[in-house]
Chains A and B, each alone.
Chain A
Amino acid sequence: MSTGARTVTAPGRSGVVGARVPRVDGKEKVTGEAAYAADIALPRVLVGKVLRSPYPHARLLRVDTSKARRVPGVKAVITAEDTPKIPHGLFVKDTYPLALERVRYVGDEVAAVAAAIEEAASEALELIEVEYEELPAVFDPLEAMAPGAPQLHADRPGNIAYQLSVERGDVEAGFRQAAHVIEERFTTHATYHAYLEPIASVVSYGHTGKLTVWASAQEPFMTQAELAEALHLPPSDIHFIQPHVGGAFGGKTMDDNHLYISCLLALKTRAAVKLVNTREDEFVASRPRVPTVIDLKVGFAGDGAIVAKEARVVSDNGAYTSRTPVIMRTTCIRADSLYRLQNLRTHGYLVYTNKIPTGSMRGFGNPQMHFALESVMDMAARELGMDPLALRLRNATQAGDVTVHGWRVASCGLSECLERTAAEVGWRGARPAPGASGTKRRGVGLACATHVSGRRHFGNYDGSSALVKVNEDGRVVVLSGEGDVGQGSRTIFAQIAAEELGVPYEDVDVTMADTESTPFGMGSHASKVTFVGGNAVRVAAADARRQLLEITARLFEARAEDLAIQDGRIFHRELPQRALTVAEAAKAHIYRQGGEPVIGKGAWDPPSELHDKTFYGNISGAYPFGACAAEVEVDVESGEVKVLRIVSAADVGRAINPMLAEGQIEGGVIQGLGYALCEEIRNEEGRVLNPNFSDYRIMACEDIPVEVKAILVEPVDPYGPFGAKGLGELVVAPVAPAVANAVAHAVGARITSLPITAEKLFTALRRPQASRPATPNR
């Protein structure tokens, strides 16, 4: 560990950017003081509970709540009939808060109860009588696309929720140039976010006519807007206050029905209602990662250059549409900018099935295609007789490139990430030979990835805003509506404000997000909070600094440009003894005739653009790149894979706080290993078979590799706040293909279906030799 001390880089700076300072929320989190949604205590709060469909597809013939309403202590029992019947959904409005006429998956919300005590709510739930008429159901997206399949939504024929085609260059000509063509089908599976805090909300409604909402939501203002629309309320009648949030990873975008239902219960009862998901609710009715079937064909010239790529993507939407159209678009498009390719064609189909609706999970569709593409890169390297690292370096996107989809890549550490991760697992000019001892085989593999730092999408806006308030005692308060779901954005904002303003880090507080007091922010998504929100904070802090300098200039009868701020002291550059503290300046500004407070205001919208009709455009202000290398040991008798060592390098632009950046990498890598090896929501006829933490295993402390190494690559992005780019999602994407490539290196078997279970590998190892590579790759 290093200390917070760091040399001051420029006058007016505090030197705290780049330092491993402790988080602003540390003390409350290690003492149990930090309040999460379920910890919010209000007097006379009612307990909410939800009745779910036991059928994957059925008509609702009758829902009788009369007996349930008579249970003592029950204040409300609601069905779709008690709601405005306005469907929600950011892109396709097909989700009713409570099922209207039909249920489409096991877990679909049918009715909800609010009662004075939990026992009454449970009893009422059991007394709701529902008569279902079962309908034929379909669970496999390929079957759902076929003629004659049961149809989920009348206005979406063929069960197609959304489809897209994208084409660049000349794909046929590209394949004609190819010396080698790799063609393979890859499948990826549903995984669950598994944040430790289940979704929870406390909603209060009374005579003010306002709904006050405390919920574990990751996008305060977007949640407010979406609730307002579906509840038919003016947005300002919804006061959203973000408590501490116990992890989100895309799962707390509130695309599911939880928060709509707690608000409806509060509106109906004109009281306060608390609704807390059980872990089973989470597994059956949240919005897990989108499973995909990816047919991928890539052509390579003899020297390794990628000459053409063709893909067909089928994404499993589940029963309703969350953000999946754009998630599928990400699967179809984003990985293309990893390499300098020119000719491509992709078709994507988002298909309804009678399963849990899927949604955004750390990577937003990106890990799926990276698994396919980065597996193909290793398969191609083998055919070409090239080193997999060299093949990637041959094609890697570089700073200054405009990629095939129009990304303008201002900073890019991709090659450095590749070289450094490879070196860590023993690449010395070439990949080390696989090892063997007894029944164990060892191999190493790598993969790389790219992502975004924000993505222009919503009404041609992808910006953020902030206020930086300088109090009369010199302490500084940052107000931002971006919020913090655990990743540490409040700490990052404090560092950025301290640095820009020239005050000690300890003097900066950052409020929690609150739609009535913090300025507008889009919230935690698309790895944008540091990049976009951080820039807004920086602009606001610069505005506050300008005000402090002007105040002091008037007091000193000097010119503002001759003054500087450092460590909370404002001084004359030529006459350093002429100085006062930030507190003195702020106080002097208030306590005078016509005085006013020092409040810096900042807004920042990245230099990105909306894509055109063909999805071409510079969609993000900065693009992070990364690479991951794994060393695995495979037991050829059982097919079991053990990851001995995992290394992840991320081009973060610049790490505002290396301790937090490493934490993002380490956490993302372990989530990626879960995706690669052991996590899977298993279904049978639409029923989730493993809806709890004993049957759905996320990695525990003893399961992680003995060596997990995070490497920060810092090319300094020209648009990032102090050079920083997005990070959170990037690091998940290359993990699964790195492991698959290491497994193929160790034993010669190529697993194309995630997760890489012992069963799959055991079977693959016993396939006739002809159908799998005869010898390990190199």
Chain B
Amino acid sequence: MSPRQKRQLSLEVNGEPYELLVEPHWLLVDVLRDQLHLTGTKIGCGIGVCGACTVLVDGQAVSSCLALAVDAHGKAVTTIEGLAREGRLHPIQQAFIACGGFQCGFCTPGMIMGAKELLDRNPAPTEEEIRAGLSGNLCRCTGYVKIIESVQVAVRLLQEEMAGEAGAPVSPGPGRHAAVGSGQGGAR
């Protein structure tokens, strides 16, 4: 094997700046998973069809299994690990827990990132728009019914948050396994 020239990659991931040396052919998903140990982003198909590797690059949903890491130079990447803030889950994450919008959870990080981009773009999507918007993310467990419901509940939670009602309990109510409360499992 001939040694390859590595390139300097400067990027921001979940708000943290990184300076990395990467080979030009390395994929963004591999750099996230293997170099930064952000394994929440999954590899499901390797050809950009299943959506399990979805991350946001400058706010745009990207299949990180198709994106070259060097193309993220100077950009801001958000992965599933970057959604919760100070131990508080993002409303989309809360909604997926409350509605049972996942089973095995393998598609869930990509699904939630896909939903994040959808709701950033369209804060009040119709059911049809949700179905179309999430069609790049495959799920084999749920049949999508509770995922669609999760996104609808997330819309409501985000609206409530905008209206300053943050902290209003999402049913089911508080508890270690519930949607609301600290990520460290307080609220006992």
Q: Which A residues contact B (CB, under 8 angstroms)?
A: 1-5, 19-36, 38-39, 41, 71-73, 119-120, 123, 193-198, 244-247, 249, 276, 278-279, 485-488, 491, 494, 504-506, 659-660, 662-663, 666-671, 692-694, 698-704, 708, 710
- Pair B112/A30 contact, Cβ less than 8 Å: yes
User: A197: which B residues are within 8 A, CB to CB?
Assistant: 42, 44, 104, 106
Interface size on B, as a range, is 35 or more
A52 to chain B, nearest CB (A): 17
User: A700: which B residues are within 8 A, CB to CB?
Assistant: 134-138, 144
User: Of all chain B residues, which has the CB nearest A710?
Assistant: B145
Dominant SS among interface residues on chain B: loop
The yes or no answer to B139 lying at the interface (CB within 8 A) is yes
Can you offer 18 A-B residue contacts whose CB atoms are under 8 A? A2-B171, A3-B173, A21-B172, A30-B109, A32-B40, A196-B106, A196-B139, A244-B104, A245-B104, A278-B46, A487-B141, A662-B146, A663-B145, A666-B145, A701-B139, A701-B144, A701-B147, A704-B145
- Pair A701/B100 contact, Cβ less than 8 Å: no
User: Of all chain B residues, which has the CB nearest A485?
Assistant: B104
- Pair A35/B104 contact, Cβ less than 8 Å: no
Alpha-carbon distance between A698 and B141 when the two chains are bound, in angstroms = 11
Interface residues of B in 90-137 (CB under 8 A from A): 93, 96-100, 102-109, 112, 130-132, 134-137
Q: Give the number of A-B contacts (CB < 8 Å).
A: 229
Alpha-carbon distance between A198 and B38 when the two chains are bound, in angstroms = 18
- Pair A30/B147 contact, Cβ less than 8 Å: no
Alpha-carbon distance between A213 and B109 when the two chains are bound, in angstroms = 25
- Pair B177/A505 contact, Cβ less than 8 Å: yes
- Pair B141/A663 contact, Cβ less than 8 Å: yes
Q: A21-B177, A196-B106, A196-B139 are in contact. Are A30 and B93 (CB under 8 A)?
A: yes
Alpha-carbon distance between A28 and B102 when the two chains are bound, in angstroms = 12
Against A, the Cβ 8 Å flags (1 = close, 0 = not) of B176-188 are 1111000101001
- Pair B143/A36 contact, Cβ less than 8 Å: no
Select the stretch in B5-13, B68-76, B79-87, B159-167 that faces chain A: B79-87
- Pair B183/A31 contact, Cβ less than 8 Å: yes
- Pair B1/A120 contact, Cβ less than 8 Å: yes
- Pair A486/B103 contact, Cβ less than 8 Å: yes
- Pair B98/A1 contact, Cβ less than 8 Å: yes
Q: Which of B43, B49, B139 contacts A692 (CB 8 A)?
A: B49
The yes or no answer to B17 lying at the interface (CB within 8 A) is no
Q: Which of A120, A279, A666, A693 contacts B142 (CB 8 A)?
A: A666
- Pair B144/A33 contact, Cβ less than 8 Å: no
Alpha-carbon distance between A702 and B144 when the two chains are bound, in angstroms = 9
The yes or no answer to B28 lying at the interface (CB within 8 A) is no
B188 to chain A, nearest CB (A): 7
User: Of all chain B residues, which has the CB nearest A703?
Assistant: B135
Q: A34-B105, A195-B140 are in contact. Are A702 and B132 (CB under 8 A)?
A: yes
- Pair B104/A486 contact, Cβ less than 8 Å: yes
User: A3: which B residues are within 8 A, CB to CB?
Assistant: 171-173
Alpha-carbon distance between A198 and B138 when the two chains are bound, in angstroms = 13
Alpha-carbon distance between A34 and B38 when the two chains are bound, in angstroms = 11
Q: A505-B175, A666-B143 are in contact. Are A32 and B106 (CB under 8 A)?
A: no
User: B177: which A residues are within 8 A, CB to CB?
Assistant: 21-24, 26-27, 491, 494, 505-506
